[in-house]
Structure 1
């Protein structure tokens, strides 16, 4: 009898709903919540260091201002990346990619690490080569998935580092994503959950990981359809609901 897949819970920028996003605190909280995966974003500082932040500017999530690409790592490390979320998180620092990887290795993480290349607005020339070099020199004991809204970044990195998995992010551009999957340039699709519900009659369930799935109703929608994964700000909430919905099927 065919066994339906268990939907993986992937923590969006860590446990973004309960901790300052894309910080070591957020990633640790996601691990403690039992998340199957971590999703995060990589960009380059002015001095070419791989740093973890979603926005191209530091304004929203730190006490600083300006573009990441215009600030050195030393300047970025001076910023407070926690106070915007709550006073108790004051002094939290923006991490480098390597600091996140070392946290996961120390935690014996063996799930999915989904790294988004934030190259759709600022191309960050050479970031694909840097990532390929880094992961060649730093083997990881977990499943590595690269995603991006920018198709060319995925095509470029896949040639340099074919041993990872690749997934196309999209809000509405489903046609391009489906073409990339058809041409085996990506193995997974990461669509906006709103697109998923609007296209419910066309759903390649096996490697579909919608974002950002936060409401109990949206979580239940995905769990009942056994999507490959969901990307959520609330991993603890999602893990508990998955057990109620998919756990009851293991009778």
Structure 2
């Protein structure tokens, strides 16, 4: 079972901060997950929410703030995170695009352009995940060799999706496949349940706990 640090090591450090990713990458895990949005000047930045309110008590939308302003607040750029991940030969990066947003398809275009520029668009360590079926289709067209995961929200009718929440997977264990991405699993008993069910990829806020619960290490 591949352990993926959800937004870095966010149970111990500020989510998606430099230190959260540094500490996660130091662990012997499969990889890290990050959310990406576009700044007002079109740069890919690692941030989950549409606004800065929850993290920085600032009501502005991320899409209205420049990359330089976001960096001053401590937001990592996608380039900076890529550099950190590539310092390791065997760490994977799961890139989640956040939709809906005013830039639309430009978000996927910039992801592919950045990866192509860095000669990573066909690298098996790079993965794209999203709740947006449209976003997944865009990546499939622009980067057909890239591994994609369509995430399913709990309220959505069942469709073709590889990414399931823990609650959905427990309610529909028959839907688990050899390629299921399970989010976000933090309790030791749930981690053990996921391993018994043969979950391929497990996103967690507590990668250290997930490591301690694995029986097949």
Same fold by TM-score, threshold 0.5 exceeded?
yes
Matching residue of 1:84? none
Q: Does 1:99 align with 2:99?
A: no
Distance 1:218 1:73 in 2: 38
* Residues 113, 142 of structure 1: 8 Å contact kept: no
Distance 2:135 2:147 in 1: 13
Q: Does 1:177 align with 2:160?
A: yes
Give the secondary structure class of the aligned counterpart of 2:212.
helix
Q: Does 1:239 align with 2:211?
A: yes
Give the secondary structure class of the aligned counterpart of 2:160.
helix
Matching residue of 1:183? none
Once the two structures are TM-superposed, the CA of residue 124 in structure 1 deviates from its matched residue by: 2.2
Once the two structures are TM-superposed, the CA of residue 63 in structure 1 deviates from its matched residue by: 4.4
CA shift digits 1:130-162 (9 cap, x unpaired): 111111110246511101111111101211111
Matching residue of 1:29? 23
Q: Does 1:124 align with 2:103?
A: yes
* Residues 25, 91 of structure 2: 8 Å contact kept: no
Distance 2:21 2:140 in 1: 26
Q: Does 1:55 align with 2:49?
A: yes
Counterpart mapping for 1:148-227 below 5 A: 148-172=130-154, 173=156, 175-178=158-161, 189-204=162-177, 206-227=178-199
Give the secondary structure class of the aligned counterpart of 2:33.
strand
Distance 1:31 1:165 in 2: 21
Distance 2:163 2:157 in 1: 10
Q: How many residues align?
A: 213
Q: CA RMSD of the aligned region, Å?
A: 1.5
Counterpart mapping for 1:129-148 below 5 A: 129-140=109-120, 143-148=125-130
Distance 1:62 1:109 in 2: 33
CA shift digits 1:2-24 (9 cap, x unpaired): xxxxx010000001111110111
Distance 2:51 2:89 in 1: 30
Q: Which runs of 4+ in 1 moved over 3 A?
A: none
Distance 1:31 1:111 in 2: 7
Are the structure 2 counterparts of residues 202 and 170 from structure 1 closer, same or farther at C-alpha, using a change threshold of 3 Å?
A: closer
Distance 2:64 2:185 in 1: 33
TM-score between the two structures when normalised by the length of structure 2: 0.92
Q: Larger Rg: 1 or 2? A: 1
